Structure 1
Amino acid sequence: MHELIRDITLCILFAWGLGLAAHFTVQPLILAYLVAGFFIGPYGMGWVKSQESIQIISELGLIFMLFMIGLEIDLKKIVRAGRVILFAAAGQLIGGCVLGVLFFIGIGLSMGGGGFDALYLCIACALSSTVIIVKVLYEKRELDTLPGRITLGVLVLQDIFAILFLAVQPSLADLQVSVILLSIGRVAALVVTALALSRYVLPPLFHQIARRPELILLGALAWCFLIGEIAELLHLSREMGSLVAGVSLSTFPYALDVTAKVTTLRDFFITLFFVALGMTIPIPNSSVIGLALIIAAFTVASRVITTFMPLYFLRQGLRASLLPAINLAQISEFSLVVIQTGVVAGHIKTQTANAASFAFVVLAVLSTFAIGRSDQITRASIRLLKRAGVRDLDHSHPGHDEAGNGHGEGRRILILGFFRAASALLSEIERQNPDLKDQIGVVDFNPVVFQNLAKRGVHVTYGDISNVDTLVHAGVGKAEIIILSVPDSLLKGATNEKLVRHVRSLNETAKIISTADLLADVEDHYAAGADYVVVTRLSDAHELFTVIEAADQGLLEDKRAEIDARLRERGEVLP
């Protein structure tokens, strides 16, 4: 017992020290935890030697990580997932697995006869890292963009796929239809039990303890371990049970509160899991390093084939097809879980598992940099693809836009970039002055915007507003009013101030209306040539003040009825 406490102490100290180094050198924290585990483990300095300690630390970390992954799976979002996300995820998962099996069998890895190295690697390579992707996209403020939503949708469906694989994984050595059906039946029984309890038993209990944070935390942990033990009784794994426990709570009324309470504990045990995983990685030989590089190269190549191509054929355009492929081009931490379950079950060789772990490390580093610079990579890739003859959404009528207008004809009012403010503006114009819509042109590279505006008869040019050729083609030089409605936080390759200067150089007489995120930016926009600068916080503040006044006067219901009536009238392009 004392040895376990000492081992956990070493894990936390070295994880923290190397975590600090990773933070200051802008490296993934998971990489730091793996290196920490390797350093103190039996293949490094040998300070942690007990295999029992390593196993206990790893299993606890794995249980909590899967519990939190389950909590973050939103079943409602899966149900509401659009056709594009469903087809993209299906193409990526099915295509990735088929290519993976063929590729890894082709390089000589086992498939059957008790060895399933090729199968486990193809599953591992089909999954992408939620931790890395969400962290980087959140920092870049791209979670709410179209490529960001596609990426997150694919990630959620990947998790569901992994759950299904873990359900049949214990029976791989005797994979018969009856065995598969029995495994699925056990999982169904577990899921039904968990959902029923979380729907009818847990809410009244948690309602009674809602004001007691320590009981909320204790209740969440009790639920996690209870479902884990039920899974064990059904001859499933505790890890599988913890995942189902999390999923069953994802639609729970107190899920947000539970997640907030468990997050700190989760981070502690996830750290322990990756440190323990690092302890199991030996010093690599040339064959392990070679296989790891092959796995990494295959993962990147398969993402291009299985993610970019389905999205491109769904007419999402080059940019919205390339970005999710770049975002998803790494191996998931969940892949390491799958690999470890295979090692424990004797389905995969230790050497293959070590190669997968090294491939994860390589891709974690490269992917972090690639996602951070995805805009530059995408722009360069689009140029190369167009030179190679690959068509984008702007190819329909060479020299013409979607509405059939000739090159450079333009419109009197031009909206550069189309997000929610522009969507609301268009709806307001359609309501108050429909004739004005025929004088409006829009420039944007969101395929959803492009298709929906074209259907509504709005003059739209597909293209990047930071590209001078796009602006000239859209008719910036002839427009009388030019509106920049997208905030700087969402612009790629430009800022509103730079766009104002750019547009002013192309059109000296137009009235330019710009958008500023910060009050300090307003004067810079005017100096750049803007005629009017919109600061959304001012209009938001005015609206909130009128709501407060209505509440003070007892008229809040009337105010709400007024806004509800306005919302019912809206027919916006973007929700």
Structure 2
Amino acid sequence: MAELIRDITLCILFAWALGLAAHFLRQPLILAYLVAGFIIGPYGTGWVHTRESINTISELGLIFMLFMIGLEIDLKKIVRAGRVILFGSGGQLVGGCLLGIAFFMAIGLPMGKGGFDALYLCIACALSSTVIIVKVLYEKRELDTLPGRITLGILVLQDIFAILFLAVQPSLDNLQISIVLLSIGRVVVLVAVALVLSRYVLPPLFHRVARRPELVLLGALAWCFLIGEIAEKLHLSREMGSLVAGVSLSTFPYALDVTAKVTTLRDFFITLFFVALGMTIPIPSLSVVGFALVIAAFTVVSRLVTTFVPLYLMKQGLRASLLPALNLAQISEFSLVVIQVGIAAGHLSTATSSAVSFAFVVLAVLSTFMITQSDPICRWSIPLLKRMGLRDLDHVGVDGEAHGDGHGAGRRIVILGFFRSASALLSEIERQNPSLLEQVSVVDFNPVVFSNLKARGLHVIYGDISNVDTLLHAGIASAEIIILSVPDSLLKGANNEKLVRHVRSLNTTAKVIATADFLSDVPDIYAAGADYVTVPRISDARELLSAIEAVDDSLLDEKKAELDQLLAERREVLP
């Protein structure tokens, strides 16, 4: 016990020290944890060398990691997932696995007779990193964009796919239909028990202790280990049980509170898992490094093929098809879990496991850069793809004519960029002055906006508003009113000040209305040539003040009824 405590102390100290270095160098923390484990592990300094300590630390970390992954899986979102996400994720997973099996068997990896290296690798390469993607997209404020939502939807369905694989994995040595069905049946029993208990037993218990944070935390941990033990009794694994425990808790009312309470503990044990994983990575030979680079290259290429193609065939446009492919081009931390489970079962070699770990490290660094620079990469790639013969949504206009100069000419009002403010504006025009819609043209590169506006008979041009050619095609030169309704935080490759300068250089007489995120931006946008600048926070403040006054006058119910009636009359393009 004393040796285990010493080993955990070393894990945390080195993880913290290298985590600080990774933070200052803007590298993924997971990479720092793996390196920390390698340094103190048996292949590094040897300060932690006891196999029992490494296994205990790894299993605890893995159980908590899968429990938290389960908590973050929103089953309701999966049920509501649109056709694009369902078919996109299906194409990515099925295509990735088929390509993976074919490729890894072609290079000589075993598939059956005790060795399943090709199968585990194809599964590992089909999964993407939730930790890396969510972190970078959050920092870029792209989680709520269409490519961001598609990316997150595919990530959730990847997790479901991994759950199914973990259910079948114990039976790989004797893979018969009856055994597979038995394994799936055990999973169904486990999920049913967990869902019934989480729906009818846990809510009243958690309700009674909701004001006692320590009991909420203890209850969540007890639930995690209880379902893990039930899974063990069903000849599944504790790790599988912890994942199901998390998924079942994600559906009940206190999921958010439980997640908040468990997060700190989760971070502690996830750190231990990745440090323990780093301890198992031997000093690589040239062959292992070469194999890791092959795995990394295959992952990037296969992700581009299996993600881009389905989305492009569903007419999402080049940009909205390419961005999710770039976002997903890495190996998941869940892949490392799958590989570790395979090693424990004796299904694949340690050389393959080491190569996957190194490929994970390479892609963690590379994909962070790719996601950060995804917009410039798209701007460079799209013209190349067009020269290769791929058509974008701007190939044909709303009325069927080819996209070209003067395409938007004759429209008095041009809206550059389309987000929720523009959606609300069109709804308001439709409600108060429908004839004005005939004078409006919208320019945006969101395929959902393009198809919805086109279906409603509105004039819409597919294009990037930061591109001068797009502005020329949109008929900016002849417009009388030009509206920039997208805030700087959502604009890619430009901001409102730069856009106003572009617009003003093309049209010196139009009235230009722009948007400012910050009060300090207003003078700069006016100096760039804007005639009027809206600041959304001011209108929001007025609405909040009117709500406060309604409360003081005992008129809040009447105000709510007026708002409900107004919302019922609106038919917006974006929800």
Tell me the TM-score range normalised by the shorter chain.
over 0.9
Q: Partner residue of 1:326?
A: 326
Q: Partner residue of 1:361?
A: 361
Tell whether 2:32 aligns with 1:2. no
Deviation, structure 1 residue 400: 7.2
Partners of 1:519 and 1:251 in 2: CA distance = 41
Deviation, structure 1 residue 557: 1.4
Partners of 1:547 and 1:343 in 2: CA distance = 61
Partners of 1:368 and 1:50 in 2: CA distance = 34
Q: Secondary structure at the match of 1:465?
A: coil
> What are the Cα deviations for residues 507-549 of structure 1, in whole angstroms up to 9, with x where unaligned?
0000000000000000111000000000000000000111111
Tell whether 2:344 aligns with 1:347. no
Partners of 1:292 and 1:556 in 2: CA distance = 63
Deviation, structure 1 residue 397: 5.3
Aligned 8 A contact 1:291 1:355 in 2? yes
Q: Partner residue of 2:419?
A: 419
Partners of 2:408 and 2:211 in 1: CA distance = 63
Tell whether 2:171 aligns with 1:171. yes
Q: Which moved more, 1:553-562 or 1:205-214?
A: 553-562
Q: Partner residue of 2:65?
A: 65
Partners of 1:554 and 1:186 in 2: CA distance = 57
Tell whether 2:113 aligns with 1:113. yes
Aligned 8 A contact 1:43 1:279 in 2? yes
| AA in 1 matched with 2:84 | V
| AA in 2 matched with 1:537 | R
Aligned 8 A contact 1:403 1:454 in 2? no
Partners of 1:353 and 1:222 in 2: CA distance = 32
Q: Partner residue of 2:131?
A: 131
Q: Partner residue of 1:193?
A: 193
Partners of 1:486 and 1:398 in 2: CA distance = 22
Aligned 8 A contact 1:40 1:46 in 2? yes
Q: Partner residue of 1:300?
A: 300
Q: Partner residue of 1:251?
A: 251
Aligned 8 A contact 1:128 1:330 in 2? yes
Q: Partner residue of 1:77?
A: 77
Tell whether 2:488 aligns with 1:478. no
Q: Partner residue of 2:565?
A: 565
Deviation, structure 1 residue 409: 1.6
Deviation, structure 1 residue 9: 0.3
Aligned 8 A contact 1:167 1:236 in 2? yes
Q: Partner residue of 1:504?
A: 504
Partners of 1:562 and 1:443 in 2: CA distance = 32
| AA in 2 matched with 1:258 | V
Partners of 1:268 and 1:290 in 2: CA distance = 33
**Judging changes above 3 Å, is the alpha-carbon distance between structure 1 residues 410 and 32 closer, same or farther for their aligned structure 2 residues?**
farther
Q: Partner residue of 2:180?
A: 180
> What are the Cα deviations for residues 6-64 of structure 1, in whole angstroms up to 9, with x where unaligned?
00000000000000000000110000000000000000000000000000000000000
Partners of 2:304 and 2:495 in 1: CA distance = 30
Q: Partner residue of 2:392?
A: 392
Q: Partner residue of 1:95?
A: 95
Deviation, structure 1 residue 399: 11
| AA in 1 matched with 2:479 | A
Aligned 8 A contact 2:322 2:378 in 1? yes
Tell whether 2:283 aligns with 1:277. no
Q: Partner residue of 1:209?
A: 209
Q: TM-score normalized by structure 1?
A: 0.99
**Judging changes above 3 Å, is the alpha-carbon distance between structure 1 residues 505 and 406 closer, same or farther for their aligned structure 2 residues?**
closer
Partners of 2:159 and 2:522 in 1: CA distance = 45
Aligned 8 A contact 1:402 1:460 in 2? no
- Counterparts of residues 433-512 of structure 1 (less than 5 Å): 433-512=433-512
> What are the Cα deviations for residues 138-171 of structure 1, in whole angstroms up to 9, with x where unaligned?
0000000000000000000000000000000000
Q: Partner residue of 1:262?
A: 262
Partners of 1:65 and 1:543 in 2: CA distance = 43
**Judging changes above 3 Å, is the alpha-carbon distance between structure 1 residues 452 and 115 closer, same or farther for their aligned structure 2 residues?**
same
Q: Which moved more, 1:34-43 or 1:391-400?
A: 391-400
Partners of 1:40 and 1:570 in 2: CA distance = 62
Q: Secondary structure at the match of 2:461?
A: strand
Aligned residues: 575
Q: Partner residue of 2:235?
A: 235
Q: Secondary structure at the match of 2:58?
A: helix
Q: Which moved more, 1:61-70 or 1:545-554?
A: 545-554
Aligned 8 A contact 2:396 2:403 in 1? no
Aligned 8 A contact 1:96 1:306 in 2? yes
Computed over aligned residues only, the root mean square deviation of the Cα atoms, in angstroms, reads 1.3
Deviation, structure 1 residue 408: 4.9
Partners of 1:489 and 1:218 in 2: CA distance = 40
Deviation, structure 1 residue 448: 0.3
| AA in 2 matched with 1:426 | L
Q: Partner residue of 2:54?
A: 54
Partners of 2:405 and 2:141 in 1: CA distance = 34
| AA in 2 matched with 1:97 | C
| AA in 2 matched with 1:273 | F
Q: Secondary structure at the match of 2:391?
A: coil
Tell whether 2:550 aligns with 1:554. no
Q: TM-score normalized by structure 2?
A: 0.99
Q: Secondary structure at the match of 2:520?
A: helix
Aligned 8 A contact 1:109 1:118 in 2? yes
Deviation, structure 1 residue 410: 4.3
Partners of 2:202 and 2:433 in 1: CA distance = 53
Partners of 1:313 and 1:144 in 2: CA distance = 23
Percent identity over paired residues? 79
Aligned 8 A contact 2:41 2:280 in 1? yes
Structure 1 gap segments, 5+ residues each = none
> What are the Cα deviations for residues 457-515 of structure 1, in whole angstroms up to 9, with x where unaligned?
11111000000000000000000000000000000000000000110000000000000
Q: Secondary structure at the match of 1:3?
A: helix
**Judging changes above 3 Å, is the alpha-carbon distance between structure 1 residues 209 and 288 closer, same or farther for their aligned structure 2 residues?**
same
Aligned 8 A contact 1:401 1:461 in 2? no
Q: Which moved more, 1:521-530 or 1:389-398?
A: 389-398
Aligned 8 A contact 2:445 2:464 in 1? yes
Deviation, structure 1 residue 407: 3.0
Q: Secondary structure at the match of 1:519?
A: coil
Q: Partner residue of 2:537?
A: 537
> What are the Cα deviations for residues 105-144 of structure 1, in whole angstroms up to 9, with x where unaligned?
0000000001000000000000000000000000000000
Q: Partner residue of 2:142?
A: 142
| AA in 1 matched with 2:379 | R
Deviation, structure 1 residue 379: 0.7
Aligned 8 A contact 1:127 1:334 in 2? yes
**Judging changes above 3 Å, is the alpha-carbon distance between structure 1 residues 459 and 399 closer, same or farther for their aligned structure 2 residues?**
closer
Tell whether 2:519 aligns with 1:519. yes
Aligned 8 A contact 2:406 2:474 in 1? no
Partners of 1:280 and 1:404 in 2: CA distance = 59
Q: Partner residue of 2:289?
A: 289
